Amino acid sequence: MCGIVGFTGNNEAAPILLDGLSKLEYRGYDSAGIAVRNGDAEPEIVKAKGKLKVLKEMTNDGKAVKGACGIGHTRWATHGEPSTVNAHPHCSDDENVIAVHNGIIENYQELREKLIKKGYTFKSETDTEVAVKLIDYYYKKYLGTPVDALNHALVRIRGSYALAVMFKDYPGEIYAARKDSPMIIGVTGGESYLASDVPAILKYTRNVYYIGNMELAKLTKGAVAFYNLDGEEIQKEMKTIEWDAEAAEKSGYEHFMLKEIHEQPKVIKDTINSVLADGNISFESVGLSDEDMKNIQQVYIVACGSAYHVGMVAQYVIEELTSLSVRVELASEFRYRQMKLAKNSLAIIISQSGETADSLAALRLCKEKGVKTLGIVNVVGSS
């Protein structure tokens, strides 16, 4: 998955953006970029193919790019090859709108053709550039606010997105939107932060908001406002991150796989402890009573990718230790099959991010069918 960071406040943005992106390197990426605004001056966009250190060298660790408001991105190529041109941020033809994006826009070709007819030109092969120019089109067409433009654009986009957007007419502000891709916002001491995952901003603040699905946010210095897709302001509760930043970093290991191998005993112990009450296993905290658990006869484990392989291992263990029947299902196929879900069954949905689109679709289907569900995820506050 790609990584997103954003910052607006009183300090220089570029070093903060680069630091945040470095905390998201574990996601994998092939290029990186930042866009920074210095008051009313023209934005500066710097992009590079390859490792983040290339971007750091180009900007002298961010010191060469001045401004207190900016957005950054590490890209893992989906639409278009790894290249500087395809790297984010992307901008409208006149740099009126600049944005970074995680996710997949499924109808980008259709939208691109419409925008070309409206006079827009395209430099990259990405679906993200289509989103940027669609937002720009509606901003200019209706002469409204950034929230208006985002609302008009997003209802026409099919797929998933986490967007961080800057508008030329609104220096010092960042606008965010999400659908089926993670996004977190932090606020402290007159400064606001945005990221696709907690580690990017944990160094700066533990006070965060989780922007909901199909919601927008406006970040200003030390403040954030939230909106629904009708443009109505909504209230969100601030959360406090309790866990330590070291848990999300390499902890001295050469790479994340080594760290994860060595921390398995502790992780298993911590996970079991999370459902212990007075020395007994209890799932009451996740809405499953002892009676519910005793009545379960069938377990479905639903996941994608490496999480699916975890499910395969769990299937053997559960069947060896219990009398339960266990089926492991690929989330991408689960909702399309004409499979009758057994009564008194439990669906265990496994997702690292808690935002895997197919896994979420499977979760919603199980709930519709009255199947009890249990999620195993790494990201607190995810969908």
Percent of the chain topping pLDDT 70: 96
Distance of alpha carbon 73 from alpha carbon 55, whole angstroms: 11
pLDDT at 82: 75
> Model confidence over 179-191: pLDDT tens digits?
878 889 999 999 9
> Is residue 100 within 8 Å of residue 71, measured between CB atoms?
yes
List, in order, residues 6 or more apart from 354 with CB less than 8 Å away: 182, 375, 377, 378, 379, 382, 383
Is the torsion defined by CA of 223, 14, 353, 336 positive or negative? positive
Q: Would the pLDDT of 244 be above 80?
A: no
What's the full length of the chain, in residues?
A: 383
3-class secondary-structure state, position 151: helix
More confident residue, 62 or 174: 174
Is the torsion defined by CA of 294, 382, 305, 256 positive or negative? negative
The model carries a pTM of 0.77
Stretch among 122-136, 156-170, 253-267 having the lowest mean pLDDT: 253-267
> Model confidence over 76-134: pLDDT tens digits?
777 777 788 888 899 998 999 999 998 888 899 999 999 999 999 999 988 899 999 99
Q: What is the mean pLDDT of residues 141-165?
A: 92
Q: Cα 359–150–104 angle (5° rounding)?
A: 35
Domains and CATH numbers, the chain: 3-247 (3.60.20.10), 252-377 (3.40.50.10490)
pLDDT at 247: 65
